[in-house]
A = this chain, B = another copy of it.
Amino acid sequence: MNQVICTVDVVLLTIRHDALMVAVIAREHAPFKGRLALPGGYIHANEDHNAYDAAIRVIKEKAGIVAPYLEQLLTFSGPARDPRGWSVSIAHYALVPFDLVYQADNDVKLIKVDGKLSLPFDHDTMVQKALERLSNKSQYSSLPCFLAGDMFTLPQLQRIYEVLMGEPINKVTFRRKIGEMDMLELVEGGFAASGAHRPAQLYRLKNAFRQRLMLLERGM
């Protein structure tokens, strides 16, 4: 009556060339052995403090990194989503700067999220729900900063916001909002030169905002 399989899955997202990418790995075991799927695994009751810790462990084991941002997404459940039987998967989503995924020693493949994914289980739905959550939260928080690297320019950050929200933002408004949030500090003497034009000032997140989200009263 309570034969329920308990797992966690992680929708690990990053951004590259103005495109959102999701991390997938070839499955080592049945079911769907060899197929590309979201990183995931059983909850280890003897080892994990809770599902969040299980997700941290999965990211570390499968992608070799510690994600700057990780949040519980939704829990998927039912008799048919996993051929092994009635199952529960506590889905999470993680945001990681591209360099962090790329430099790590892992077998992760990155797939653009705008095409058809055709992942096994209900992983397509998980990705879709993660994108919805991300799109919503980006409108009224500092969440997108976790996809930028340690240092970034305001035009770069604006492009990230635009990719996540799926629509252009007014430049003046964007800078006003970022100013209101008061979460960035200027990198002294740091400029990003990228061609025959004025270089952009580099910024970094203030320490206080590396651990928590800044919320906006009114959205972007």
Interface, chain A (partner B; CB < 8 A): 1-6, 42-46, 49-51, 72, 74-79, 85-86, 88, 90, 218-219
Which residue of chain B has its CB nearest to the CB of A52? B77
Name A's interface SS.
loop
Q: Tell me the nearest residue of chain B to A76, going by C-beta.
A: B50
Expressed in whole angstroms, the Cα–Cα distance for A164 and B32 within the complex equals 46
* A49 and B78 within 8 A (CB): yes
Q: How many copies does the complex hold?
A: 2
Is B72 a contact partner of A4 (Cβ separation < 8 A)? no
Complex interface: chain B residues within 8 A of A219 (CB) = 218
Whether A51 contacts B218 in the complex (CB less than 8 A), given A4-B45, A6-B4, A43-B4, comes out as: no
> What is the CB-to-nearest-CB distance from A55 to chain B, in angstroms, rounded to a whole number?
11
Q: Are A75 and B51 in contact (CB under 8 A)?
A: yes
Q: Is there contact, CB below 8 Å, between A2 and B43?
A: yes
